[in-house]
Homo-oligomer: A and B are copies of this chain.
Amino acid sequence: MADADWLSERGRDESDWRGMTVACTCVGSMMVDRELFVSAPGKVILHGEHAVVHGKVALAVGLNLRTFLRLRPGKDNGTVEINLPNIGTKLTWKISDLQALVPSFHNSPESKPLGPSPEQLDFLKTFAGFSNGTTDTESLAVLAFLYLYLSICGQALPSLEIVVWSQLPTGAGLGSSAAYSVSIAAALLATSGKISIPAQENIRWTQAELTLINSWAFQGEKVIHGNPSGVDNAVGTWGGALRFQAGEINPIERVPVLEILLTNTCVPRSTKTLVAGVKDKLLKFPGIMEPVLSSINAISEECQRVLQAGVEGLTIEQYSVLEELIDINQHHLNVIGVGHPSLDRLCQATTSHGLHSKLTGAGGGGCAITLLRPDIEPSVVDAVKQELSAYGYQCWRTSIGAPGVSLHSSSMLPEDVTRSFNKA
């Protein structure tokens, strides 16, 4: 990760989980006495979507559209409040009411999270007044919060007010739920003294602390998604780039940040149907399709090689290779049947301006990334954005390889975030 050097300066035992927990308990306190700002990035798949289902490598990268969280002491010391302005949700509970649930959510501080049991989820649904089969964004977000609050904060529930506001669209395959879970897990772990609260914004958590954040965020993802891969919360936690293959997730040491245009075609799709379609094609034309997956695998490998070689700044030639890999993979994704006319239009529009795009995630609509070289004229980006907006697409100029979960001081927050928090 980008902060590997800093981590060794801290001199913590980063490989020993129990050592870390002991070290942390002396840093914070169970009382909330200050304001905390945390953010976590979204995620895009740079290469390897779908191929990863068939045992190939995928590269997932931190997307610098972030979810921001503000944690404050509760006003009256007797309530806990979750406020999600993106979806117009603001709920307050009495801590005395929540206290009754605590015995069912006990995790010993030395053990890793156990994962939400069906009974725990039933308790929470009953408590929050949600029907049993509930799947709407609001209910799932609230359940995940309550689960993490009760599980992390344990027997001495703190009174607090949490606002979570995100730059990420939801349901677009950009890891918005993971960014939500990661920022809640980090804030609750910090405020309850289970991880440190670094004094300076540019100092990040240790690997062991990040591992703890990640494992709790994964539990939050389980509440929301049932059976998540763990990639999204890992990217939300570590940021940068991760290599994902056969269920194993490995952060890639130090990758450069790449400017991109992220576009949401806003065409809805079913990941499940698309994944099934790829499987059908593989069964129908194994001799044709298996080599395509091998080629995608080699694209991910080559991309990782280029990123690692270009960590001090990519050369023009390295940018050209990244563009070429994007073009090739977009063709392959069409071949395996996850393209869409909306994505074809997007690629045509960006190609006509000399830019290179591919779908990211499930395909069949959804989102795409367009690589922007550092020397690109702003007028070109504006023209492309205008063209894509005319198709009804949403466009963000942002970056990938973004840092993972971070603590912020209020003065350093982006303006849109401060505005949203002030209104909340």
Contacts and interface: CB of A to CB of B under 8 A. Distances in A.
Contact of A291 (B294, B301, B324, B344): B294
A301 B288 CA distance: 10
Contacts of A288: 295, 298-299, 302, 325, 328
B291 A298 contact: yes
A335 interface: yes
Contacts of A332: 331, 335
A88 interface: no
A176 to B, nearest CB: 31
A334 interface: yes
Interface string A289-308: 10110110011011000000
Contacts of A414: none
Contacts of A299: 288
Contacts of A328: 288, 335
Contacts of A334: 327, 331
Contacts of A325: 288
Most B CB contacts (10 A, CB to CB) among A298, A328, A348 go to: A328
Interface in A256-303: 285, 287-289, 291-292, 294-295, 298-299, 301-302
A285 B332 CA distance: 15
A332 B331 CA distance: 7
A225 to B, nearest CB: 32
B302 A295 contact: no
Nearest to A328: B335
Contacts of A295: 287-289, 291-292, 295, 335
A54 B285 CA distance: 22
Interface string A391-424: 0000000000000000000000000000000000
Contacts of A301: 287
Interface in A64-104: none
Contacts of A285: 298, 302, 324
A338 to B, nearest CB: 12
Contacts of A331: 331-332, 334-335
A285 B222 CA distance: 39
A361 to B, nearest CB: 19
Contacts of A292: 291-292, 295
A316 to B, nearest CB: 16
A299 B327 CA distance: 21
A424 to B, nearest CB: 47
A52 B76 CA distance: 77
A324 B281 CA distance: 10
A287 B298 contact: yes
A286 to B, nearest CB: 8
Interface in A44-59: none
A327 B335 CA distance: 8
Contacts of A298: 285, 287-288, 291
Interface in A330-344: 331-332, 334-335, 344
7 contacts: A287-B294, A287-B295, A289-B295, A291-B291, A292-B292, A328-B335, A331-B334
Interface of A: 285, 287-289, 291-292, 294-295, 298-299, 301-302, 324-325, 327-328, 331-332, 334-335, 344, 348
Given A291-B298, A331-B334, A348-B348, 19 more contacts: A285-B298, A285-B324, A287-B294, A287-B298, A287-B301, A288-B302, A288-B325, A288-B328, A291-B291, A291-B292, A291-B294, A292-B295, A295-B295, A295-B335, A327-B334, A327-B335, A331-B332, A331-B335, A332-B335
Closest 9 CB pairs of A and B: A287-B298, A291-B291, A291-B295, A331-B331, A291-B294, A288-B298, A331-B335, A328-B335, A288-B295
